[in-house]
Amino acid sequence: MELHYTITYSQRKKLTITVERDRSIVVMAPLGTSPEKIREVVESRKIWIYEKLQHPQKYDPAPRKEFVSGETVLYLGRNYRLEIQKGTEESIRFQGKFIVTGISSDRAAKLFKEWYIDKARKKIIPRVKLHAGNLGVQVNKVMVSELKYRWGSCTPHDSLNFNWKLIKAPMFVMDYVIVHELAHLLEQNHTARFWNIVQVQAPGYVKAKEWLKQHGDILESGF
């Protein structure tokens, strides 16, 4: 089977290959790397790529939830009951359950996304600062946004970007993703040194990786 991949060039020093959650293959290469060299590296790693393509992680879109009272809403790894109330002003309040007022079903997805992004920024950015301090690294910028196929990413300019849907995951999973991206500021590739750095800062990282493999698809669920 011929492998189809996209190439992203940057100032990085080494060529890396990533198999995304939708099974797309992305090659991140240093500026000036020839297509022939990239093809050669991809060919040399075919077995590894095929193994990643067959990984049991979920790739299918999660089913949409119903915007009705009694439905459950995911937040920090737990499902909470949704209670819809009548009202003229749109609001979402979390009080051991989600109390929603004045929101129509066609507005629910947009407003919950805004609510999640706000909470994600308030949770993730302080955790990045904490772990960065512990690791002794400097972060240029922290962003929380829509990442289609990743939970987090690290740019060549020492900026970190995190998927807002991580706010639906347990805190130990969120911490693992944060530490994972920060560790790339010290070690670009997933070497033994890289995983040693992660292990020291996030001792439960194996459990967190497994949680994402088994339950990552539920973070995609919404209205």
Radius of gyration of the chain (CA): 20
113 lies in the same domain as 34: no
DSSP state of 191: -
79 assigned to some structural domain: no
Its pTM surpasses 0.85: no
31 assigned to some structural domain: yes
30 assigned to some structural domain: yes
133 lies in the same domain as 41: no
Domains of the chain: total: 2
116 lies in the same domain as 210: yes
84 assigned to some structural domain: no
Q: What is the pLDDT of residue 57?
A: 55
DSSP state of 65: P
152 assigned to some structural domain: yes
State the CATH number of the domain containing residue 170. 3.30.2010.10
44 assigned to some structural domain: yes
Select from 36, 53, 70 the last residue of a domain. Answer: 53
86 assigned to some structural domain: no
Q: What is the pLDDT of residue 79?
A: 96
206 lies in the same domain as 122: yes
113 lies in the same domain as 202: yes
Integer angstrom CA distances of residue 221 from 57, 75, 156, 158, 195: 15, 11, 31, 30, 30
Q: What is the pLDDT of residue 1?
A: 63
Instruction: Give per-10-residue mean pLDDT for the chain (223 aa).
Output: 84 85 84 92 90 64 83 96 93 96 93 97 97 95 87 87 96 97 92 95 94 86 85
Among 185, 188, 187, 179, smallest CA distance to 206 is for 179
User: How many whole angstroms separate alpha carbon 19 and alpha carbon 53?
Assistant: 7
DSSP class per residue in 87-152: -SS-EEEESSSEEEES--HHHHHHHHHHHHHHHHHHHHHHHHHHHHHHHT---SEEEEE--SS-SE
111 lies in the same domain as 216: yes
35 lies in the same domain as 112: no
Q: What is the pLDDT of residue 197?
A: 95
Q: What is the pLDDT of residue 64?
A: 81
User: How many whole angstroms separate alpha carbon 86 and alpha carbon 190?
Assistant: 51
User: How many whole angstroms separate alpha carbon 164 and alpha carbon 166?
Assistant: 5
188 lies in the same domain as 121: yes
214 lies in the same domain as 112: yes
39 assigned to some structural domain: yes
**Residue 201: domain span:** 107-220
111 lies in the same domain as 48: no
User: How many whole angstroms separate alpha carbon 119 and alpha carbon 93?
Assistant: 12
